[in-house]
Amino acid sequence: MNLQEQTNRIKQMMGLLTEEEQKNYSTILIFGPQGVGKSTLTKPLSEKLGMKVISSDEFVDQGDWNTKKTAKQAWLKRKDNEFTGMVQFLETNLGKPVILDVGGSHGVWEGNHLDKIKKIISSYPNTFLMIPSNDMEKSKEFLRKNILKRESGIKGAIDYWKKLLSKDENFVNQMSGDDKEISLERLEKIKNGDTSEAEYNINRMQKRLDIINSGNVDWKEFDIDDEDSENVKFAPDEFHDYSNYFITNMKNSGIANHVIYNLGKNTEEVINDIIKVLK
């Protein structure tokens, strides 16, 4: 057995595609609502196909929309802000042999925004909408569970502020770059007696974490047609569910050529569903 055959054997044992099996696929786009598991999927998919993953979350800025009075006004302003970044993100990366992980709201468009986005991606056949199930209630249950699991990560943020409040210089000195610079400024304020920012963040995040851990989360479903609901910047007891709106919009908009369901499937099964229709 020569070196190439040995390499192929190892790749097969690891579940990777051999060089003969790999193709120069056009850009792959993965859309899906927040919490569906796009990031969990794209890493092993990239390893199998030998294609780099680029996430839109790292490049598309939501901008300042919190000053808007109602939730609908805030959403529309947020989408205006995202649109410019999303167009640039697509035009920069389409045509490359890469996998684009399109963040939740970045796959939700209407009107002229939708027309422009669809026109940009129209010549790319490998566009996938990943949702849990064709059953909306099952999808919402799946997505809510994953979102809460992700949000429980705010414990790390609480610990961060507690360390600053305790004036832990060693903790800050282990940081680097902008994180260290910002943390040093915050630490200096605390040393000078201004603990308000740290206490505010600890209290609000701890309250939210306590609600998550209790299991008594009161979800509020997002309704694009609700003209009257007041926009809330950040309320610890407010949990917004975009599942229904995101999934319905993405399916009806036709933004993707293929719909992939992942509820009850392992990652390898979902990857195989994608690979068998790639062009």
Residue 225 has what pLDDT?
87
Across 135-145, average pLDDT:
97
pLDDT of residue 67: 80
pLDDT of residue 234: 74
Amino acid at 187: L
What pLDDT, on a 0 to 100 scale, did the predictor assign at position 6?
Answer: 55
Inter-axis angle of helices 136-151 and 196-214, to 10 degrees? 140
CA 277, 100, 45, 134 dihedral sign is negative
pLDDT, position 71 = 85
Domains identified in the chain, total number:
1
Beta bridge partners of 128: 30, 258
User: What pLDDT is recorded for position 2?
Assistant: 56
DSSP H or E stretch at residue 197? helix 196-214
What pLDDT is recorded for position 32?
97
Higher pLDDT, 253 or 3: 253
**Domain containing 115 — which CATH number?**
3.40.50.300
> How many residues are listed for the chain in this entry?
279
- 95 vs 124: CA distance, rounded Å: 8
Whether 56 and 89 have beta carbons less than 8 Å apart is answered as: yes
Q: What integer pLDDT is reported at residue 11 of this predicted model?
A: 47
The pLDDT assigned to 229 comes to: 85
The DSSP 8-state label assigned to residue 64 in this structure reads: S
Can you give the pTM of this predicted structure? 0.83
pLDDT digits over 70-80, tens only?
888 888 999 99
Nearest to 82 by CA among 120, 101, 100, 108: 108
pLDDT attached to residue 230: 83
pLDDT digits (tens, 9 = 90+) for 213-258: 999 999 999 888 888 888 777 788 889 999 999 999 999 999 999 9
% of residues, the chain, pLDDT over 90: 77
Residues 173-199: pLDDT tens digits?
999 999 999 999 999 999 999 999 999
pLDDT over 50 at 154, yes or no = yes
Residue span of the structural domain in which 139 resides:
3-275
Angle of the 196-214 helix axis to the 154-165 helix axis, nearest 10? 150
Specify the residue for token string 């195989």: 272
pLDDT tens-digit series, residues 10-62: 544 554 444 444 455 789 999 999 999 999 999 999 999 999 999 999 999 88
Q: What dihedral angle (degrees, nearest 10) is formed by the CA atoms of 18, 24, 25, 28?
A: 90
Residues 6+ apart with CB under 8 A from 164: 171, 172, 183, 186, 187, 190, 198
Q: Measuring CA to CA, how many Å separate 192 from each of 122, 170, 201?
A: 57, 18, 18
Token digits of residue 260:
């992939």
The pLDDT, as a whole number, for residue 188 is: 96
Q: How far apart are the C-alpha atoms of 181 and 186, rounded to whole Å?
A: 9
